[in-house]
Amino acid sequence: MTSARDGARRPPKSSAAARRSSPWRRLLTWVLMLLFCLAAPLALLAVWGRVTLLNTDAYVIAVRSLAADATVQDALARAATEAAASGSANALATPVARSTPMISDAPLAAPTARAVDATPVVVVTASDTRGARQVETLRAGIRNAFASDEFTDAWAEANRALQQSLTARGAAGPLLLDFSALAPEIQRALVETGAADLARAAPPPDALRIELLGAADADRVRGLLRAVRWSGILLPIVAAALLIGSVWAAPSRLRAVGRAGLGLALATIVLMLVVLIGQSVLAGRTPDPAAEIVAALLDRLLQQPVLWALAMASIGLAVAALVAGAAWSRGRRQTPAI
């Protein structure tokens, strides 16, 4: 009797509501929601890559301010000095037994086997204080050139060429920053520091082409950028379709929106952690001092997507909180007073 009376009080479910509460639609809702939470952060990253990394002007604007970064300047100066010292042994090395100045008008003797077999970076021994001073003077001259006003434009042009070497069709080989145009500025800086003789041993153009990534790693980056070219368009469309589908199939569309906001926030935070870990791994695969340059470039480039991700996560949490508040308020209104 009581059950019949209760059944009479309950309003019958509409056919639409019954369809939405069916098990297969619930499963479909969760599958679409999970795929949306995976696709949305990836879409954000792909859009950023397409807007910034594949656009030469946008890339140069993003990294241009690094020209004034002292850490970058020091790392470039060390890399160029090491390349010059290892590639110009005849100009930078003198046998320890010689008492003549290292840089002179006379032809330089070939380095001894001991000097060549020592270290391939700076071809002087610890006791060869004159040679060590020459190398330090060369490094200071290169450092002064990298701190000059001309370096800002050279940095922009070097990064423009770097970006084009990543995105040009059929590009291959290592990733280089080419500062060979600064060779005259380095010679001038050496003259200003009182090392006019050493200016003749300024780094050759090849020593001012600094390798950031080897050919294998650079080709992997090129492959990722090729994927970004199409995914930056496709993934946002897929993410929007998944969100609409999951909300449409859900028994309670309001709750589905709240779950989407919470899932989006969590997935975005996880993706940013993965990106930051990948940044550290990529910089760790590069030997010093080029690793410092790669780390500085990645730090500057990733500032924008990290801000986008934080904004997306905040929006997701706000949507989830609003939906939870609306559901709680609706539940209170529907609770009969005792």
61 or 13: which leads in pLDDT: 61
Distance separating the N- and C-terminal Cα atoms of the chain: 24
- Mean pLDDT value of segment 248-253: 82
The pLDDT of residue 119 is 33
- Mean pLDDT value of segment 311-327: 77
Residues 6+ apart with CB under 8 A from 200: 91, 103
Euclidean distance between CA atoms 178 and 286, whole angstroms: 17
Flag whether pLDDT at 179 surpasses 70: yes
What is the average pLDDT score of the chain? Answer: 74
Cβ count within 10 A of residue 18? 11
Q: Which 8-state DSSP code applies to residue 103?
A: S
Flag whether pLDDT at 71 surpasses 80: yes
Put simply, whether the predicted model's pTM sits higher than 0.85 gets the answer: no
Flag whether pLDDT at 127 surpasses 80: no
Euclidean distance between CA atoms 239 and 123, whole angstroms: 57
133 or 264: which leads in pLDDT: 264
The pLDDT of residue 56 is 92
Q: Do you find a cis peptide bond into 11, omega within 30 degrees of 0?
A: no
Q: Which 8-state DSSP code applies to residue 53?
A: I
